Structure 1
Amino acid sequence: MYHPTSRVLTVLELLQAKPSISGPELAARLEMDVRTVRRYIMHLQDVGIPVEATIGRHGGYRLRPGFKLPPLIFTEEEATAIILGLLMSSWLEIEQPSAAIEGALAKVSRVLPLQARERLQAVSSHLSFYPPSQQARPSASLLIDLSGAIHASQRILINYTSHHKEDTQRKIEPYGVTGWKGRWYMVGYCCLRQGYRVFRLDRIRHITILAETFEKATDFDHEAFIRDNRNIGPINLEVEFQTDLATVQQKIPASYGILTPSATGVLFQGTYYDIESTARYLMALNMPFLIHQPLELRDTLRHLGEQMIQIANTPIPPQAH
């Protein structure tokens, strides 16, 4: 049994093959009634195909003389979805050339009927999207290479910069790539650490696809591993500022979390998704605080402090004369 979309395309193929074809002939060729043929003809007209009805003894349907079918046909709803997706691609946190996006937009617009094209040009010219962060973004080519290796079950060799800025080379058996809260992550089995690990794509400096293949564990769910990983999932933050409520309220918007006066200061509770960004935010507030949770925040702050000390102790090199 044909899918309705397949039948509509078959009607179009028959119209292209003959100068004119009658409704009863179309109905007989497609094993349907004439009313259904008329409905499919109207559908083609709705998406901008100039199907004309001819009357008389040899009347029927034909494509307008001189009409050439574009390589792709989109309904207005399909084109809108594609264009919005292209415009919002900056939110994907993937580095990609703007010329590629502009070229794709132009190609989609060219195959649209004039009226639909004008409406979508109005949409694209009045919408702007900006990435949620200005941090390093992985390239689209990296995403493509990883996807290919995952599909073919090939091991990869990556040069990776860890959370603590340590550069290592890892052999990985990649299982999946996931976008999560503005960042991209790869889950894989690390041959160096002998266990499953999560790697941020923006910290992968180089990738080599190896000829070696591996057999994936059927009982491992990389998406569940991402959700359960404490460094990626929601961080339940609970810190106690050593100052008064009025001071804290001046520096922290009410939407950021819950402020509760305590015996020694103000308890701040909130949910965040990146422990390093959270640590930097707390430091920028310039208020002393105690960490209740997560305990990993202590290590992150300690590492940031070491970075600051190193920067402060780095002398200016002598100028050459």
Structure 2
Amino acid sequence: MSRPTGRVLTLLELLQSGGTRTMTELADRLGVDPRTVRRYVDHLIDLDVPVEAVRGRYGGYRLAPGYRLPPLMLSDDEALAVSLGLAVARRSGPAVTTATASETAAAKIRRVLPERLARRLDAVLESLAFTAPPGDFAAPDAAVLLAVADAVRHRRPLSIRYTDRRGRRSERTLHPYGLVAHSGRWYVTGADPGIGEDRTFRLDGITDARILPGSFEAPDGADPARRVLTGFATAVYRHEVTLRVHGTIEEIRARLPAHIATVQEQEQEQEQEQEQEQEPATDADPAAARWFRVELRAERLDWLPGVLAALDRPFVIERPDELRDLVTALADRLAAGARRT
């Protein structure tokens, strides 16, 4: 695409966004002088695009009211970005819609690309490698996703049919606060007025979502992403783990993020008692390094000793005893390996 042609398309895009654009604004955005802007406007008029000149102090150019926009047009960079985005989404994780929809959309874009650009795109896709296997998560139903998003935006209650991970089916009413994408899955979080508690549901477990009459008020400071992460950290699992860790919140969160563990700063008196019991050596700012209480739930414990070793901060295991045994066993193996010659 030649540079002048690209600027004419950029001018059309600016006018399509609505309102009147001044000559100064258009010249600045296009990087040309006012005379060239007028020439580009003439090009659009020659293509039967009804561009109107608006006179006066705040005059400029605009599209005629009621003008129906032409079909979607993409620049080379935009076409490549969309095509690569679809390819990466299909390979590295679940798409918002089905894989078939992503493939057909990519095929349509590929068919209308100029041959030169299509060859460049093929070269990129053929040379692209991934460090992780493709995601095997189920994609949410497009109709469900759109219904939930509409309910979130307009604060409307939802009726959903849900199947949990154990295969149990139920019908619920939900006041949805927001949509959250996390680790390849989509979630909706909100209040269940039937039980008076906040709940989080995976979208791929919702088989039907219908907007109900009425509206609701979301609580002040509602943070859907934080609610989802907190839900993961406090979910019911086989083991309940409680630790005391000395360090900064950043050091702890680097190994135990919010969706794994809850971290709470301990009271000053408790902290002083623990520092008397164990004075940790730390390279961190003494004012920032403190004792924190860390709680998490897990189906298995075998991954935790390695995490605590990588944390490289003083810690105390309060429960369970099984974790103490695993940490001791890891320490013995490391010590034995260090003694070998």
Q: Please report the TM-score for the alignment, with normalisation by the length of structure 1.
A: 0.50
User: If the length of structure 2 is used for normalisation, what is the TM-score?
Assistant: 0.47
